[in-house]
Structure 1
Amino acid sequence: MTAQIGRKAPLLSVSDWVQGEPGNFDQLSDRVVLVEVFQVNCPGCFLYALPQAIDLYQRYFDHGLSVLGVATAFEDFDKNNLENLTRLLEKGEVIGETHRALNQQGKLIADRLPFNIPFPVAMDRLQKREADITQDEIALFINQRVPDFEQQTKPHQLKVWQQVEHYFQSLTYHAETFELFNLQGTPSYILVDKQGLLKDCGFGTHPDLEGKILALLQE
């Protein structure tokens, strides 16, 4: 069952805790929990989302905020994997588009990430797809992302359907936490209150995230 806002947050499904003490929502009761979901091969994650999560962790940990990182993969499985996550956390090595973008903007120091991630980080649990994608899965994917799909012309609907079908066919694995919380891409965040209720999920950059956290800390 997909996680629902306002209901008890399902536990994160991860394969390995690569850094820090393992943690999950049932172990962090009475604390607000921010989960930063990223991919190793995701420039925006390292330019914006992770620095924001680190800043929030450093300023609000003592006030009741726990931050967890989950590295996921919904594409580029040769790059977004446990090996590259381990190299990132242990040596500060970045790869692929992340390296290209940070290097282009002069963000690397000695070809390494200029900051350390201070909170626990895990690898999303990846399961190899065995069964063929169903028509219902394709329809659900489209309806969640193209709200006016039924109003489009038949040729356009067919084009979108074929694109989504091709996308699913290209996926070797599916990431359990990513799909459980119905995330739209990376960077994304998951926000859970002190009672373990799922309060928000967001995709992209969110300058209002601090305000949401402060409101939950004051509850």
Structure 2
Amino acid sequence: MSSHPAAPALQVSQWFNTETPLDLPALRGRVVALHAFQMLCPGCVLHGVPQAERIHRHFAGEGVVVVGLHTVFEHHEAMQPVSLQAFLHEFRVTHPVGVDAPLAGQRIPATMQAYEMQGTPTLILIDRAGRVRRQHFGQLDDLTVGAEVMRLLCEAR
């Protein structure tokens, strides 16, 4: 039995940069880099979002799917989907991005709660079997992320 937990389902209220909603079970067989961010988070804007886009561009066609997750847990009134759409355009984000589903009467959205995230940016690496293999709050350097993604890609299916 694996010591790595199954990745909880994504609970998303709206998607950008994809024609159909993404579903983790449908992505089995691929490595998923789930990047949680807020557009008003300086660390996300300076490091997390650009890194997610670099992963997306570098590993395109290699069996890696990058999924952005806009997890709004503060400044709710300023971070509406229309603002996010403009943000994604201005920052040239091309990978799929979902809006973490809000929960009635709660500040923390659904997927953020399910993964017990501490804040943003958070990078979660999910292996081909749908298990969480790494969850990191804060900034990781590109070399570390690239090595971990490659390790997951090289594991036997």
Q: TM-score, normalised by structure 1?
A: 0.65
Show CA shifts across 1:5-41 (max 9, x none). Answer: 7022111111111221321211111100001110011
Higher helix share: 1
Shift of 1:81: 2.6
Q: Which runs of 5+ in 2 are unaligned?
A: none
Question: Partner of 2:146 in structure 1?
Answer: 210
Number of aligned positions between the proteins: 150
Aligned residue identity for 2:146: E
Match of 2:18 among 14, 20, 27: 20
Show CA shifts across 1:122-152 (max 9, x none). Answer: 10000121xxxxxxxxxxxxxxxxxxxxxxx
Contact 1:127 1:174 in 2 (8 A): yes
Question: Partner of 1:37 in structure 2?
Answer: 36
Structure-to-structure mapping, 1:76-115, within 5 angstroms: 76-89=75-88, 91-92=89-90, 113=91
Structure showing greater radius of gyration is 1
Q: Which runs of 5+ in 1 are unaligned?
A: 93-112, 130-171
> Are 2:157 and 1:181 equivalent residues in the alignment?
no
Question: Partner of 1:127 in structure 2?
Answer: 103
Shift of 1:51: 1.1
Question: Partner of 1:162 in structure 2?
Answer: none
| Counterpart secondary structure, 2:72 | coil
RMSD: 1.5
**Separation in structure 1 between the aligned mates of residue 95 and residue 138 of structure 2, nearest angstrom:** 20
**Separation in structure 2 between the aligned mates of residue 125 and residue 41 of structure 1, nearest angstrom:** 18
Show CA shifts across 1:66-110 (max 9, x none). Answer: 001110111111122323112223x42xxxxxxxxxxxxxxxxxx
**Separation in structure 2 between the aligned mates of residue 174 and residue 205 of structure 1, nearest angstrom:** 21
Shift of 1:190: 1.4
Q: TM-score, normalised by structure 2?
A: 0.89
Paired-residue identity, %: 31
**Separation in structure 1 between the aligned mates of residue 103 and residue 108 of structure 2, nearest angstrom:** 5
Shift of 1:45: 0.7
